[in-house]
Structure 1
Amino acid sequence: MTDVTDQDATDTGADRIVTVPNALSILRLLGVPLFLYLLLGPHADVWALLVLVASGVTDWADGKLARLLDQSSRLGALLDPFVDRLSIVATLIGLVARGILPWWIAAVLIGRELVLAPTLVVYRRRGLPPPQVLYLGKGATFLLMCALPLLLLDLAVPATSVVAHPLGWAALIWGTTLYVWTALLYLLQCYRTARAVPPHPSAPGHGRATG
């Protein structure tokens, strides 16, 4: 996941849309349905693995290029994490459908995103940007983005199973644990923000009954 934040983009005043990092994010976005088709349609596991690895490489590259080429943008700050999460969710669904992962692991990881999504409303109503990404959260994402290709490699190339299987499961277990832990940290941060900062009068939804 790229570490270009909304605040970074705002500070540079970058409203650009056509940039190399954004093009890479769009390419990754287009790779999501292609990956699912290859994995669930013809069961072309090696090709699906190559698409997944290419997605991980471009994910790393777009953040580096954004800084190297000075092409940070507001669109990139929103698009990149969205594609990251969509890619992880799609990969989880595909691996569960193929029987590679138990459904409850996918439920935990996807449920984490559903639980955290409403916290953005808390910040928006207070006129605040989303919280900075925790480095621990980046570590969790990195582990998951290593675990999922390794587990697919275990299926696609059985000769690698002796290495890919234990490494994939170790990365998955640690990544899932950190993913859940960082979710608790984000929820605590949101709770503290809600108590310390009153809703902004001009913010959307201010003054409405919440039920």
Structure 2
Amino acid sequence: MTTPDDTHPGADRILTIPNLLSLVRLLGIPVFLYLILVLHADVWALVILFLSGFTDWADGKLARLLDQASRLGAMLDPMVDRLYIVTTLIALVARDVIPWWIAAILIGRELVLAPTLAVYRRRGMPPPEVLYLGKGATFLLMCALPLLLLDLAVPATSAVAHPLGWAALVWGAALYVWTGLLYLGQALWIARAVPPSEGQAAE
């Protein structure tokens, strides 16, 4: 999702096509979990996951083409990406596709970084810029998880989906943890170097 300039006249827009796509992706998460954990309808769960990936690509393209970038979209889009990663990890652990400790490491990364946003808010600063390395890690994970689900849903694809899925998962997890450490280090530096703004410090 394109991050808008605060001076852009449409930065505060809520009802945009990219934001609606992000909302549809968000509503798809409980459907995905119901399909994979309750019904064991793995092919349909895979369809939901692929549609989520396509709409994730589409909302960024549309935001630029239609000039509909917004602050809400810049926040909502990566949040939905992370929710899909977390819920898919939990589902694949529950179905014994991946070991629990891989999911614990990746979810733990999110839990560690979540409080760092308060460091920026207390200083009246925007969240840190997304690292390209972090985008690469997210891309690898969002390729790995559908591939591993494809391996589960369509056993005939296992010869290709299984090794590719695991390769993308290992590399994606390594980069995900590394960029998490970079974000954490940046937040710690900001906490030391920049004092809280007066209004926030008084709270």
TM-score interval, smaller chain? over 0.9
1:54 equivalent in structure 2? 51
Instruction: Please point out which of 58, 64, 70 is paired with 2:61.
Output: 64
- Give the whole-Å Cα distance in 2 for the aligned partners of 1:106 and 1:195: 31
CA distance in 1: counterparts of 2:23 and 2:119, whole angstroms: 29
Q: Is the 8 A contact 1:9 1:77 kept in 2?
A: no
Alpha-carbon offset, residue 207 of structure 1: 4.7
Q: Does 1:23 align with 2:20?
A: yes
In structure 2, what is the equivalent of residue 140 of structure 1?
A: 137
Q: Does 1:164 align with 2:161?
A: yes
What residue is the counterpart of 1:87 in the other structure?
84
User: 1:42 and 1:78 mapped to 2: Cα distance?
Assistant: 32
- Cα distance in 1 for partners of 2:170, 2:150 equals 17
Q: Identify the residue that residue 10 of structure 1 maps to in structure 2.
A: 6
Code of the aligned partner of 1:48:
A
Amino acid across the alignment from 2:154: V
1:55-89 superposed Cα distances (whole Å, 9 cap, x missing partner) = 00101110111011000111111111111111111
3-state SS in 2 of match to 1:114: helix
Q: 3-state DSSP class of the match of 1:120?
A: helix
Which stretches in structure 2 are left out of the alignment for 5+ residues?
Answer: none
Rounded to whole Å, the distance in 1 between the matches of 2:7 and 2:115 is: 26
Offset of residue 11 of structure 1? 3.5
Q: Is the Cα–Cα contact under 8 Å of residues 148 and 168 in structure 1 kept in the other structure?
A: yes
Superposed displacement of residue 9, structure 1? 4.7
Q: What TM-score does the superposition give when structure 1 sets the normalisation length?
A: 0.93
Q: CA deviation at 1:187?
A: 1.0
1:118 paired to 2:109: no
TM-score by length of 2: 0.96
Kindly report structure 1 stretches of 4+ aligned residues shifted beyond 6 Å. Answer: none
**Is contact 1:39-1:48 (8 Å) kept?**
yes
Partner of 2:146: 149
SS at structure 1 position matched to 2:6 = helix
Q: Which residue of 2 aligns with 1:42?
A: 39
Structure 1 spans left out of the alignment, 5+ residues: none
